[in-house]
Amino acid sequence: MEERGPDAEHQGVDFVRELVRRDNSTGTYAGRVQTRFPPEPNGYLHIGHAKAITLDFELAREFGGTCNLRFDDTNPDTEETAFVDGILEDLAWLGYPIEGEPLYASDYFEQLYDWAELLIERGLAYVDDSDSETISAGRGGYGKPGVESEWRNRSVEENLDLFRRMRAGEFDEGSRVLRARIDMQHENMQMRDPVMYRIRHERHHRTGDSWHIYPTYDWAHGQSDAIEGVTHSLCTLEFDSHRPLYDWYLAQLPLPGDTPRQTEFARLELTHTVTSKRRLAGLVADGVVDGWDDPRMPTLRGLRRRGYPAAAIREFCAFIGVSRTNSRHQIELLESFVRQHLNRSALRRMAVLDPIRLVITDWPEGGRKVKSTMHWVSADHAIEGTTALYERLFSAEVPGEATGDPMDDLDRTSLDLRTGCRFEPALGDTPPGAVVQFERLGYFAHDPREPMLFHRTVGLRDEWARLQQRT
RNA sequence: UGGGGUGUGGUGUAAUUGGCAACACAGCAGAUUCUGGUUCUGUUAUUCGGGGUUCAAGUCCUCGCACCCCAACCA
């Protein structure tokens, strides 16, 4: 695996692996290691997910454990079966096929509901009739304690009755929520009576119309981990402040087994790239790109169509490691892994992108010392095709850094489509999806659907261009 | 404004846990080469700041500074 990076044995282990080792040596989970990858099926996987995926799956593999795929489908507003299928497909391509049926948070809705009633009975949860603005205002602010809701001290009986009627669909969306009864003065905002259930009369992609209330992320996540037997629940840094809540919920419940523990790490950011699902969806919706699999997209399906080898992505993820430092990796590093792979695997072929017809008259005079190279294909035998050259979708290293809006750095001319290219005949045999090197021009991926359309995966290292640039 | 987190070359990640700051990408110089590619060799450059402990500090203590996250019925 470690192509780069000198003897990996002598490199330090990251803090996550260190933690797992410590747990194993102290017998915390009796040596058991179980992780999970929990995507929400409301979009496709991107390069940022690849980091989490390799961490979750490889960590489990290294320690002889397992990693569950669990769809975090607690919000029926945006989730779709199409995304479930797409994610499964992308995962398999990346090298982590799921055997058997995937898991879903929605599988645990009934258990979650029972546990919610348990909290109500113990006076640890209550139905709040306030609207969202009131709840938000009551939460206070940074340095300002919150105030208790006027509905906070209802009787257990009333809470139970109301909660059951919420489930039955008797109330309007937004009219009531179930909240945990923790501490409105807590210094951590997440602990100021967080919402556990909201009312949604929306069709869920799996449970259909059987529910009118849906658990929030916080109420569902740790419990789902516990139900599945997850030991190490890895997530990104922004959930750091949720950890006390994660632990609090688990501490109140009669869990079937081990208590999972959440550990946070820094998400992957790349230069010239956005990975916000909302932004990516926007690019697709606005027609800025061809779709989720446009070769300029940082989605796994985009990278795949562009010709990035899955192994290159995996090795990149392994190489950059995990830490708790917010950082942005240069996309050139990813590209160097791509070149390293393609250099070994790609066939070399000749192509002329801007053909000029010329006649060679002194052909037999050959045999002299080569002074320069003629780049050519035979006009009589060449086949015709199209190449797509790409600039970075966002011209700035950090999209939006200057103005606050990443879209200001969008390069709308990032696609350079060349028709009428001339290819050497052997290229006619290129299988769909295969990547070849056009000598001196770069690596090009044959489109999976359109014959003789080639996407430039990445250029060659180009010393000439660098020398030019300097002057 | 309160809480939490993070600071190591241009970028990112390490440092046998107190013992010569290393690896990769990028850069620079050269060799090889029928791809201005590949391969090979050499090389530039780093511990946020001030104090302190110690024979010895990136690592420990202390006071600062900078940046990130948190007041969705998103995840």
Of residues A95, A156, A101, A98, the one with CA closest to residue A123: A156
A214 closest-nt by C1' vs CA: B73
A11 conformational bin, left if phi > 0, alpha if psi -120 to 50, beta if neither: beta
Res A195: pLDDT: 98
Q: What are phi and psi of A204, to 5 degrees?
A: -95, 145
| A426-446 residues labelled b (16+ CB within 10 A) or e (exposed) | ebeebeeebbbbbeebbbbbb
The catalytic residue among A4, A139, A165, A267 is: A267
Res A110: pLDDT: 98
The catalytic residue among A277, A304, A305, A314 is: A277
Res A371: pLDDT: 55
Give A320 CA → B14 C1' in Å. Answer: 11
A135 conformational bin, left if phi > 0, alpha if psi -120 to 50, beta if neither: alpha
Tens of pLDDT, residues A306-347:
999 999 999 999 999 999 999 999 999 999 999 999 999 999
A135 closest-nt by C1' vs CA: B73
Res A5: pLDDT: 35
Res A368: pLDDT: 53
Helix A109-121 vs helix A156-168: crossing angle, to nearest 10: 160
Smallest CA–C1' distance to B6, residue: A325
The catalytic residue among A4, A40, A61, A89 is: A40
Of residues A388, A202, A394, the one with CA closest to residue A282: A394
CA–CA distance, A21 with A241 (Å, rounded to integer): 25
Q: Are A75 and A30 in contact (CB under 8 A)?
A: no
Give A22 CA → B53 C1' in Å. Answer: 30
Give A141 CA → B5 C1' in Å. Answer: 19
DSSP one-letter code for A141: B
Give A213 CA → B48 C1' in Å. Answer: 49
pTM: 0.95
Q: Known catalytic residue: A371? A: no
3-state secondary structure of A379: coil
Res A364: pLDDT: 58
Q: How many CB atoms lie within 10 A of CB A85?
A: 11
ipTM: 0.96
A219 closest-nt by C1' vs CA: B75
A461 closest-nt by C1' vs CA: B37
Give A272 CA → B45 C1' in Å. Answer: 25
Q: Known catalytic residue: A40? A: yes
A77 closest-nt by C1' vs CA: B74
Smallest CA–C1' distance to B73, residue: A198
Res A256: pLDDT: 95
- Angle at the Cα of A340 (from A50 to A445), degrees rounded to 5? 75
Res A11: pLDDT: 59
A242 closest-nt by C1' vs CA: B70
Smallest CA–C1' distance to B10, residue: A330
- Kindly give the parts of chain A with pLDDT less than 50: 1-10
Res A357: pLDDT: 85
Res A144: pLDDT: 95
Helix A310-320 vs helix A331-345: crossing angle, to nearest 10: 140
Smallest CA–C1' distance to B69, residue: A238
Res A363: pLDDT: 63
- Angle at the Cα of A11 (from A7 to A12), degrees rounded to 5? 160
Nucleotides of B under 7 A from a protein CB: 1-8, 10-17, 22-28, 34-39, 67-75
Res A292: pLDDT: 97
Give A344 CA → B4 C1' in Å. Answer: 46
Res A296: pLDDT: 98
Q: What's the length of chain A?
A: 471
Give A21 CA → B57 C1' in Å. Answer: 27
- Angle at the Cα of A444 (from A443 to A447), degrees rounded to 5? 155
Smallest CA–C1' distance to B26, residue: A332
